[in-house]
Amino acid sequence: MYLDFSLEEAVRKRYSVRNYAPREIEEEKKKALAAFITSLDNPFGKKVKFYCFNKDAAGEKTKLGTYGVIKGAKHYFGASIKLEPLALEALGYEFEAVVLYLAHLGLGTCWLGGTFNRKGFAKALKIEAEELLPAVSPYGYAAEKKHLLEYAMRKIGRADQRKSWDELFFIKDFHTPLSKQEAGELAFPLEMVRLGPSASNKQPWRIFVVENACHFYEYKASGYSDIFPYDIQRIDMGIAAAHFDFAAKEKGIRGYFAADLAPNITLPKNMEYCFSWFRDELK
Ligand SMILES: Cc1cc2nc3c(=O)[nH]c(=O)nc-3n(C[C@H](O)[C@H](O)[C@H](O)COP(=O)(O)O)c2cc1C
């Protein structure tokens, strides 16, 4: 899929909003969001189902808690998948497209993969038994000030910081960092990956660049996903794919994603191959 707004502007504007203003979302923005959601697809060929709902309409008894993390939000969206290889990456890709679209519309969001009542939300959204609800997000206008817990979370998670290029992107092997100069035209898509959000801001994406291919790896934080029945950092990998893909398309760089094409290189501990992106032959 393509974006019809500036990816870079949306990426730079977006941050996790955890305190929302009482201001209503305009009807045309709600309609635009619904239309955008129907236009979604992903390069992994997995089905992702989206749900939008109003917390007030869900009724008093429905348990839609966020452990005090989100305040003032009326509107939420969520996405479900059947758990299978590349489905979490597909969800990361499409969900992040929605997050960026909402940023473009001037609306805040906050990925919630952990701090929400999963059972309560799944019930309210009528998620089918064989489906999984890995993430939801509030959306709406940001309040003028962040709430106290929000300040603390941003500070502890160093939410305003990102790892540097030499920790994330490699050439030849995982000991040789790729410079911006060596990246050439791919420097922009890689920079957009670097600025993305990730669970607990762990930034697990590592990219090994070989001429016209980028091989995406997950640097697994050990024990981090143990509380989930799946690897939540695979969602982060899908977010990386989205930022890379939209950035490449914006610059007219054509390519495609494929899985199971890992290069034959020695991997550091905790490094797992996910998928690759190949540039179309230059004509
Ligand atoms: C997959 C995923 C799950 C996340 N889960 C939560 C969560 O459960 N609660 C929360 O407050 N923030 C959550 N976040 C937000 C991250 O903590 C946040 O993106 C990161 O710290 C960077 O900050 P920023 O989004 O403001 O740039 C999640 C982000 C991602 C990508």
| pLDDT, tens digit, 9 for 90 and up, residues 139-155 | 999 999 999 999 999 99
**Mean pLDDT of all residues in 250-269:** 94
- Is it the case that residue 65 has pLDDT exceeding 50? yes
Nearest CA to ligand 1 atom 10: 112
Q: What is the mean pLDDT of residues 11-15?
A: 98
Candidate of 20, 93, 110, 158 to mutate for ligand 1, largest count of ligand atoms within 8 Å of Cβ: 110
**How much is the pLDDT for 260?**
87
- Residue located nearest, by CA, to atom 20 of ligand 1: 201
pLDDT(60) > 90:
no
pLDDT confidence tier of residue 263, bands split at 50, 70 and 90: very high
Asked if 100 and 10 touch (Cβ cutoff 8 Å), the reply is yes
Domain coordinates of the chain in residue numbers? Answer: 7-153, 165-279
Cβ atoms within 10 Å, residue 101 = 21
**168-205: pLDDT as tens digits:** 999 999 999 999 999 999 999 999 999 999 999 999 99
Instruction: Please list the residues that pair with 278 across neighbouring strands.
Output: 213, 256
Ligand 1 centre distance from Cα of residue 137 (Å) = 10
Flag whether pLDDT at 269 surpasses 80. Answer: yes
Q: Which CATH number fits domain 165-279: 3.40.109.30, 3.40.140.10, 3.30.70.3340, 3.30.1330.10?
A: 3.40.109.30
Residue 59 has pLDDT above 70, yes or no: no
7-153 homologous superfamily: NADH Oxidase (3.40.109.10)
In degrees rounded to 5, what are phi and psi of residue 140? 160, -170
| Sequence-ordered list of residues with C-beta below 8 angstroms from that of 87, at least 6 positions apart, any chain | 44, 46, 48, 81
pLDDT of residue 283: 44
The confidence band for 225, taking pLDDT boundaries of 50, 70 and 90, is confident
Q: Using one digit for the tens of pLDDT, what is the confidence trace for 28-58?
A: 999 999 999 999 999 999 999 999 998 877 6
Mutate to test the pocket of ligand 1, among 64, 81, 111, 163 (most ligand atoms within 8 A of CB): 111
- Mean pLDDT for 229-252 is 97
| Cα–Cα distance, 8 to 103 (Å, whole number) | 11
Share of the chain above pLDDT 70, in %: 98
